[in-house]
Structure 1
């Protein structure tokens, strides 16, 4: 494929550009369907004249339907979109980018979506869809999937769809609550994943920050101990990666703690651990649920995180957590590879 792309870029560079543009239109219609022309124009930031021309061409090719409710893809349009994806990713250089990132972070697999999910809502949706697709491809019947909290995980949960396998899948929160908005809590996200996929779920009614004495007392409760056991025996773990200061703010830490993070040069947080850019733990929060020592026992791990501002956090945590796969966006991937400090 690379040889063909090289030849095409030398002989017919405009052809690849046009193909990429039409692929982008098809992909956006797929995500928004049914969608009106005005909404699509705004989403793609194209002029109405150019979009009208592209949509008319796609309709003539039998790839798009236009109705009063809006535009939708035909079955042929969906097939073309799916078959074009690897070709377009190669054209955009994502295969090479993924390979470099795998080597840099020393992880098994990297999925990259276009854009910067921190600033582009559609990039965040694509990031979430990629995470949901990966869960769907990995999960087997009678398995437990542990999920962490956060806005990215919420987006992944909303991108889940039913399959027969999910009917016998149990979703559990990887951790207790952090006092954040309820829709970002792991309990809520586990329930949403179960509802949208057709699976089952269990909840962990324990605060995230808890003393050891309280933790030992609560784990004597059968319902809580059963869920904790399920979490620690999870076959798949899905989590995101947070900016250190942002996560400290969500936990309502005061100025003194923020100054500590500044002094320790903390860049990222996950599972209650705060890390500097070299992957060194600079602070640990006592948490209920999965802890660092539990991660090697989890069968497969998926980290879903994007945005250029999270590049240092992603790089630091991926160098410590033995996850199988990172799902990220182009902005974060390129920022990580541009950093000069050792990981």
Structure 2
């Protein structure tokens, strides 16, 4: 019988390592059978209300279905703000029989961090797959842009894949926020986190640079990068906001120089770069600075079809450009099965 799970029943179930493994499996499966996954699709109301839909599945986990979420988006001061965000809803069906397995209301959260920014867990687990294949094996220091829940989740994913990292430099617009972030997560993660005064102080000492902000502006000059560094960016696209008149230009956080200097560029889905004209990679593609054929997909790394980092002097770049249904359903299915085992949820009589 199908089961309904409510938001409070999703807490404390899934750890980051398991999540990264599940998302890696989701992308690997989508390479083997591409039509089980698809880019997100967004629609907008004139008020700024946006609904994002994520169809997909992970056949090795026996699941296919979709996720949907709504939010009220506003642009101000070069940043994207969310005046309201509704709980996401995921519909899980059996990928062998088509029978409904469950309806999951709410966000799956990492068991040690708990509730945070919307999609922070799935986004970080996806970055974690990129860290697994692209971050320097001997990385000792990290730089983080952002001091909110996304930044905390991204850092946890990085430390899960590169636990030897012992020093972190964090920058955000608010001195108070970056100081609070450093104090809180130094204790929680057991690493030395230092708040810094500008972007360059994040980039120059870091082996891995993680961007986890809500900015619409470029965060740093790609000319600052040195051989051997890895960069992860998590902003996707918002061409619909541009076409709807809410924004003057596409959202971005990384400049053309970063793309041009990278020896390896990986994105979640190449199709989304084109369909959403995602600024960080669309503009350098349009200007001929990079070629689409030279951009790998995350699933190709997970499946072993393409190499990740092959040289410790390479600059590597993962554009975690948007979520996919396969990744969402992998994480949600993990939580669903653990919740069922723990006796949570309510049977749905069909």
Q: TM-score scaled to structure 2, two decimals?
A: 0.37
Q: TM-score scaled to structure 1, two decimals?
A: 0.38
Rg larger in structure: 1
Higher strand share: 2
